[in-house]
Amino acid sequence: MKRLALILILAGASAGDLFAADSRAAFDAANRLYGQGKFAEAAASYEKIIQSGAASPAVQFNLGNAWFKAGQFGHAIAAYRRAEQATPRDPDVRANLQFARKQVGGNLSVTPGLAQRTLGRMTLNEWTLLAAVALWSWLVLLALGQWRPAWRRGLQSYVLLTGLATAVLGSAVAADWAVNHSPKTAVVIVAEAVVRQGPLDEAPAAFTAKDGAELTVLDERDDWLQVGGNPQRTGWVKRAAVTVL
Amino acid sequence: MRDSSLQNSIQSCRPKYFGRAVLFLLPWIALAIAPTALLAATLTATLDRDTVAVGEGATLTLVFEGGAPKNPPPLPRLQNLRVTYSGQSSQFSWVNGQSTSTVTHTYVLTPVQPGDFSIPPIMVDVDGKTLSSPAILLKAVRAAAAQPDAAGAESQLALLKLVLPKKQIYVGEIIPIELQLYVRDSVQNIQQFQMSPFNADGLAFGKTVQGGQRQARIGNASFSVVPFQAALMAVKTGTLKLEPVDFSMVMVLPVSGRQRDPFDPFGMFQRGDQRRATLSTEAATVEVLPLPDGAPAEFSGAVGNFSLNLTAAPTEVAVGDPITIKAQITGRGALDAVTLPVPATWQDFKTYPPNSKVQATDALGLQGTKHFELVAVPQNAEIKQLPPLVFTFFDPEQKAYRTLTQPAIAIQVRPGATSASGSLVGSKTETPPPAQDIVTIKLRPSRSGGASRPLITRPLFWAVQSLPVLAWVTLLVRRRRAESLANNPRLRRQRQVAQFVTQSLKDLQTHAEEKNSADFFALVFRLLQEQLGERLDLPASSITEAVVEERLQPRGLPAPMLARLHELFQACNLARYAPVKSTQELKAFIPRIETALREMQEMKS
């Protein structure tokens, strides 16, 4: 039985290595295409890597670069945004996202506030792990107090501190989710997307959004997304014209 | 070139038809004399005429915009030219939310001898900056004497002059030139005028701007002068010929009094006599000198007179963070051609070509400010300062190269996340990323963990988080139960008895196997005592068979139960005298004991 388990573990590990090796080879091949100036082909290769389940911030970043060089600013911004969600402290990602936004001349007015900047320093998962550590510490201290009631007085301040940390970090998780994940963002990936007043082809145009414009998704209906522009303009845009983060 | 505004201006100056005094609208004092223009202060100096008769006054106007000196600027003393300060006026204007203030000082220049007077550049300090005006020429002629260079001019209705402030300039130098259209006061109007553009091989011209109209006198004749100004820049050396400029127009002359329409005695509807005229300037030459040898290494071709100002922010950064450096080069010269080379001493910084914007302060674009915005990224934490920035230019007035150096700016660079921007794997020709471009691709695929699903959407995560909650709840319940037990002796005794019963039933089996009748029945007796004592809340030692009659029977318990208890007590008593029993016999007792115990446990305490 033990031998069988060992075989299964080794088989799983080697399969994982093979998978990683394949991904690495594909990644290097895509990088070579990029280096040869075949940006569209490089972008397609990076997309394949992501579809194969080996998405990583570096792949998203390189995909953004490839799309940018191919002149697809909307796709590039979307890829940079995904990379930023995974590695918010990567200066390269921030620089390229900023650069791409400047190229499309949009969304620079969306200046994040202090809270958003603070939340943006870490990923949602990092906030979550921090909150989990605080929660575990708090509950372990509470449990110790139940197990050894005599220790409760000594643990009181630590319980208070960890409880406070849990509350703050839990709120940060909730806020980060609410700010960065709950309202989805749609990035325009066509030269000019017509945002209509209703989810119909015949509906009059409310405004147009150019390639790379970042819009907040408010609602969805069939092939249409209700999006909010800036300032306070809403309308319906076809799904095919945007990519949703 | 056609310009209807010229026609209007000529018309407006005819005192004959528009002799009424022009009323100057008093400017509104802006509600807030707020941001008086963030633009740099400027100074312009104009003469209302360039030729006057001896004893006649010409008005010199100094206009300060965006800032003015506290006192009237003194003019340099010139021999045979009397200068009288006439006064000061101020004007505020508010256009598109931006206010501008203009302060005008006027002087009357009266020559006492004929001759050419050159008023040198007037230097005025305004808000710590020195403003200067170009040199101005004034010609004084004897009254009623013909000018030697304008022979026959008095008899002409219009003439055209090209004025070059200097005949010798340096390559790259930019100077203003002026085309002056002289129109006799007797001309009522001019129409349909056309002007050929300035043209010369090796000279570049800026846009042509019509200047303010003034009066001039040639001999005894009075003319209105309409100036057309343009900036001229030499792009190659040598003696360059400026082609003649042609100017054609139709002049409208007043009809004589005898021809006037009796129905229009004031001539308001008279069209006048029309006369076509074509004027040309004489060809002029400009000697363009090469820049002298010995240019400093930092010289990048700027010619003029400039000042340099520099700011940098933020000054406390991490490695890889950008520092924005804003440089302003202000002065007179070809600002469009001015560049800001990054010196080699900035090798510890990653820099990008600066963005630039020219903000001219005069209509010709001869002077103003060029704003540069440069991004420098420190590459290591050992950097303590932004090295000095050096700007070199050639000053054509002083005929020398001048170097401006901004002192080093202290900065603090702390270690930070490095910007990993390597080259491609397998790429043999490793080229650095192009300037002002995106950061190049990453060469190593990072772990995919960061891009994975949020933890809070995974059930396993919540399952793991529930473990400490469960642990805490379990310990909480345990403590509560312990406390409850400690405060309830009957409950504690009940638990202890229950535990004792469970253990004793096992011991009974053992005793039966061992045919140990004495211990078997002693234990049965103890079981009865403990269970009944617990139920009746009496000490176990006080429980005997009599209790059945005294305590249990009054409670109305079922007779079979009472009988069973009697039987068990009696068996225990009997065993003291006849202890030998077989295993089967002993084991046969156990179910009865269990039944009796169960009945006692079900009994209300």
Contact yes or no for A34 and B425 at CB 8 A: no
Residue with tokens 């082909």: A41
If one compares B423 and B352, the residue with the highest pLDDT of the two is B352
Hey, of A24, A125, A126, A177, which one would you mutate to test binding to chain B, going by the most B CBs within 10 A of its CB? A125
Among all residues of chain B, which has the CA nearest to that of A150?
B479
- Output b/e per residue, A201-234; b: 16+ Cβ within 10 A: eeeeebeebebbbbbebeeeeeebbbbbbeeeeb
Is the pLDDT at B21 greater than 60, yes or no? no
Instruction: State phi, psi for B320 to the nearest 5 degrees.
Output: 95, -10
Residue A156 bridge partners (DSSP): none
pLDDT of residue A4: 52
Q: From 3.40.50.970, 2.30.30.40, 1.10.287.40, 2.60.40.420, which CATH number describes the A185-244 domain?
A: 2.30.30.40
What secondary structure does DSSP assign to B72-135, as a single string? PPPPPPBTTEEEEEEEEEEEEEEETTEEEEEEEEEEEEEESS-EEEEEPPPEEEETTEEEE---
Q: Where are the domains of chain B?
A: 31-144, 155-255+272-290, 304-414, 489-602
Q: How far is A49 from chain B (nearest CA, A)?
A: 11
Establish if A121 touches chain B: CB-CB under 8 angstroms.
Answer: no
Contact A56 B461 (CB under 8 A): no
Q: Which residue of A has its CA nearest to B436?
A: A99
Contacts of B449 in chain A (CB under 8 A): 125
Tell me: pLDDT of B22 over 50: no
Tokens of B570: 């009696």
pLDDT in tens, A172-195: 998 888 776 666 788 899 988 888
Q: What is the ipTM of this complex?
A: 0.71
Residues of A in contact with B416 (CB under 8 A): 91
A70 to chain B, any CB pair closer than 8 A? The answer is: no
B565-596 as b/e, with b when 16 or more CB fall inside 10 Å?
beebbebbeebeeeeebeeeebbebbeebeeb
List chain A domain ranges.
2-105, 118-181, 185-244
CATH class of the domain comprising B31-144: mainly beta
At A19 the pLDDT is 52
Q: Looking at chain A from residue 11 to 50, which residues have their Cβ under 8 Å from any Cβ of chain B? A: 23-24, 27-28, 31-32, 34-35, 49
Q: Which residues of B touch A43 (CB under 8 A)?
A: none
How far is Cα B190 from Cα B251, in angstroms, rounded to an integer? 4
Predicted pLDDT at A67: 92
Find out whether the peptide bond into B314 is cis, omega within 30 degrees of 0. Answer: yes
- The beta-carbon neighbor of A139 closest among B424, B448, B472 is B472
Distance from the Cα of residue B202 to its chain's centroid: 41
Alpha carbon B567 to chain centroid, angstroms: 103
Do the Cβ atoms of B50 and B137 come closer than 8 Å? yes
Q: How far apart are CA B451 and CA A98, in angstroms?
A: 20
Contact residues on chain B for A146, CB-CB shorter than 8 A: 472, 475-476, 478-479
Shortest distance between the Cα of A140 and any Cα of chain B, in A, equals 6
Exposure of B244 by Cβ count < 10 A (0-12 exposed, 13-18 middle, 19+ buried)?
middle
Q: How many CA atoms lie within 13 A of B443 on its CB side?
A: 10
The residue of chain A nearest to residue B480, with distances taken between CA atoms, is A146
In terms of pLDDT, which residue wins out, A138 or A13?
A138
Q: Which helix or strand (DSSP H or E) is residue B602 part of?
A: helix B583-602
CATH H superfamily, domain A2-105: Tetratricopeptide repeat domain (1.25.40.10)
Mutate to test the interface with A, among B448, B467, B469 (most CBs of A within 10 A): B448
State how far the Cα of B63 lies from the Cα of B49, in Å rounded to an integer: 16
Strand partners, B229: B178, B209
Residue of B352, B441, B483 to mutate, interface with A, max A Cβ within 10 Å: B441
Q: The dihedral of CA B10, B13, B17, B18: what is its sign?
A: positive
Tell me phi and psi for residue B53, to 5 degrees.
-80, 150
Please give the Cα distance from B323 to B314 (Å, whole number): 6
Q: Which CATH number fits domain B304-414: 3.10.350.10, 3.40.50.920, 2.60.40.10, 3.90.1150.10?
A: 2.60.40.10
Residue of B351, B354, B349 lying closest to B372 (CA atoms): B354
Pick A28's closest partner by Cβ from B425, B455, B472.
B425
Quick check: B143 pLDDT over 70? no
Of A61, A86, A181, the CB nearest to B442: A61
* Highest mean pLDDT out of A59-68, B78-87, B270-279, B390-399: A59-68
A143 touches chain B (CB under 8 A): yes
Per-residue pLDDT band at B97 (split at 50, 70, 90): low
Task: Write down the residue that tokens 């040898």 correspond to.
Answer: B293
**Do B31-144 and B155-255+272-290 have matching folds?**
yes
Closest by Cβ to B451, choosing from A23, A82, A173: A82
Q: Give residue B481's pLDDT band: very low, low, confident or very high (50, 70, 90).
A: confident
Residues of B with CB under 8 A from a CB of A: 320-321, 416-417, 419-421, 424-427, 437-452, 454-456, 461, 464-465, 468-469, 471-472, 475-476, 478-479
CA dihedral (B31, B34, B35, B40) in degrees, to 10, reads: 90
Contact B468 A91 (CB under 8 A): no
Residue B545 CA from chain centroid, whole number:
101
To which CATH superfamily is domain B155-255+272-290 assigned?
A: Immunoglobulins (2.60.40.10)
What would the mean pLDDT of A114-143 be, rounded to a whole number? 87
pLDDT of residue A47: 92
Task: Work out the average pLDDT over B27-34.
Answer: 38
Whether residue B379 has pLDDT greater than 90? no
Domains A2-105 and A185-244 alike in fold:
no
Distance from CA of B384 to the nearest CA of A (A): 22
Sign of the dihedral defined by the CA atoms of residues B37, B43, B44, B45, in that order: positive
Among the ranges given (A56-65, B2-11, B41-50), the one the predictor scored with the smallest mean pLDDT: B2-11
Contact B229, B211 (CB under 8 A): yes
Q: How far is CA B153 from CA A157, B149, B157, B187, B273, in A?
A: 103, 9, 8, 15, 21
| Site from A60, A63, A97, A142 to mutate, B interface, most B CB atoms within 10 angstroms | A142
To the nearest whole number, what is the mean pLDDT of chain A?
83
Count other C-beta atoms under 10 Å from residue B423's C-beta. Answer: 16
Among B348, B357, B338, B325, smallest CA distance to B298 is for B338
How confident is residue B353, by pLDDT bands cut at 50, 70 and 90? low
CA B585 distance to own-chain centroid? 103
pLDDT at B449 over 60: no
pLDDT at B397: 86
Kindly report the nearest CA distance between residue A144 and chain B, in angstroms.
8
What dihedral angle (degrees, nearest 10) is formed by the CA atoms of A147, A148, A152, A155?
-80
Token pair for A174: 């909730």
Per-residue pLDDT, averaged over B328-343, amounts to 81
pLDDT score of B6: 45
